[in-house]
Amino acid sequence: MSSTWGTAFRVTTFGESHGAGLGCVIDGCPPKVSLIFQRIQQELNRRRPGQSTLATPRKEVDEVEFLSGVLDGITLGSPIACLFRNGDADPTTYRAMKDVYRPSHADFSTDAKYGIRAWAGGGRASARETVARVAAGAVARQVLETLGSVEIVAWVDRLQELQASVEPTQVQPADVEKTEVRCPDLIVAAQMEARIREVRQRGDTVGGVIRCVARGIPAGLGEPVFDKLEADLAKAMLSLPAARGFEVGSGFAGTLLTGTQHNDAFVPEPEHGIATRTNQSGGIQGGISNGMPIEISVAFKPVATVFVDQETVDSSGKPTTLRAKGRHDPCVLPRAVPMVEAMMCLVLVDHWLRWRGQVCVPPRIPISR
C-alpha cells in the first residue's frame, strides 16, 4: 500500500514521470459535495511545470479528467478517479543514464528494493507524481470548506539564508501569488528569485523552507497516541519529494525556551469562549487540534539533479562520471507550495471524517481564525 494515503479519505496515486500518464483514485469522499472544477484546475496550474522562468521548462497542461465519482459537479460518494495524460514526456533524454546511479536520487535504493526501476525521470520517485496529490488535495479542500470558513495557505518562507519577514496569521493567498517564487515578502522574494537564477546559470540547485497555516480548523481533530495530528502531518509532508524536515508550532526553536515561556495560556475569547494567548503549540496539543491556527514548516533539500560533473558508479559498481541531462527545477520551493497545501488538506479532511465517525456531537467551532 505504498501508494495509498489516508484512513477514511483514502487516496491512491499511480503513474510514472515519463509514462503515458498519471492519476489518482479517491475513496471515501462524502456524497453531495459540490465541486468547482475551475478551482481544482487552478491548484494544478500552480503546480504544473513550465509555469515560470524559475521552473523546469517541461510543458504539461495537466488538465484533469474525472472518470468517475462525480455527476454534474456533485460527488456521488463512490470512488473518484482522476487522470492526467503526459504530453511532453521524453524518456530518450535519460537513456544514457539508465545504468548509472545519479547521486542523491532514488536510482540505487529503488534497484536495491525491487531489482528493477523506471529509469526515465525517476519513475514514481519523480515530483511529477504530485500532480495526482494536488488534484486530490483540491477535492479535499472543498470538502473541508463545508465546515465553514476554512483557509489553508502556504508560502516560501526561506531560501538558503534568505528569510521572509511576515506575520504567519496574516498571510493571504493573494499575497503569495504576487511573486514567481511564492514569497509574500516582496523585497526578500526578489532576492530569492535572483538567487535561483544565479545558481541555475551555474548548473546548480538550492533548497529552503515552506511554511503553511490552516485557519478555521475545528478543535478535536487528531488522535492522542500513534495517529497524533502532527504525526500524520509530518508523515504526509515528509512523503513529498525532496522534503527533509518538519516542524509544528515553535518547532526546534522551542528548545531554546523554558516551559513558562513556551506554554500557551488559555484566555476567554468573546465570540467562541476559549482561545490561547500565544500559539507555540501550532494549533495542536496532545495530538489533537485545539482550534487555533495550525502552523507547520517543511524543509526541502536542493534538487538532486545538477548539471555539473559528479563522481558516481554504474549498476555493476564501476566508477564513472555523470553530467545529468533532462529538464529539472533549479529549486523545488515555488512549485512545492501547492503540494504542501494539498497534503495539509488531505490530512485534515481524513481526520475530520474519522472524528465524525467516532463521536455523536459536533466538533468545537474554531477558537481563532
pLDDT, one tens digit per residue, over 176-192 is 999 999 999 999 999 99
Look up cell 526561506; give the residue: 158
Give the SS3 label for residue 246. strand
Residue 206: C-alpha distances to residues 55, 58, 67, 202 (Å): 12, 19, 38, 11
Check whether 143 has a pLDDT greater than 90. Answer: yes
pLDDT of residue 63 exceeding 70: yes
Confidence at residue 275, expressed as pLDDT on a 0 to 100 scale: 87
The pLDDT score that the predictor gives to residue 22 is 94
Exposure pattern of 120-141 as b/e (b: 16+ CB <10 Å)?
bbbbbbbbbbbbbbbbbbbbbb
pLDDT at residue 365, as a whole number: 57
Q: What is the pTM of this model?
A: 0.93
Name the residue with higher pLDDT: 111 or 59: 111
Query: What is the arithmetic mean of pLDDT over 168-174?
Result: 94
The one-character DSSP state at 107 is: H
Q: Mapping DSSP to helix (H, G, I), strand (E, B) and coil, where does residue 349 land?
A: helix
pLDDT band at 369 (very low <50, low <70, confident <90, very high): very low
Confidence of residue 61 (pLDDT cuts 50, 70, 90): confident
Domains belonging to the chain, first-starting first, are 4-358 (3.60.150.10)
Name the band, by pLDDT with cuts 50, 70 and 90, for residue 121: confident
Average pLDDT over residues 63-90: 93
Q: What percent of the chain has pLDDT over 70?
A: 96
User: For residues 146 and 218, is the Cβ–Cβ distance under 8 A?
Assistant: no
Residue found by looking up cell 511576515 in the block: 166
Instruction: Taking residues 325-353, report their average pLDDT.
Output: 93
pLDDT (0 to 100) of residue 366: 60
State the chain's mean pLDDT as an integer: 92
CA dihedral over 35, 36, 39, 44, signed as positive or negative:
positive
* pLDDT on residue 328: 79
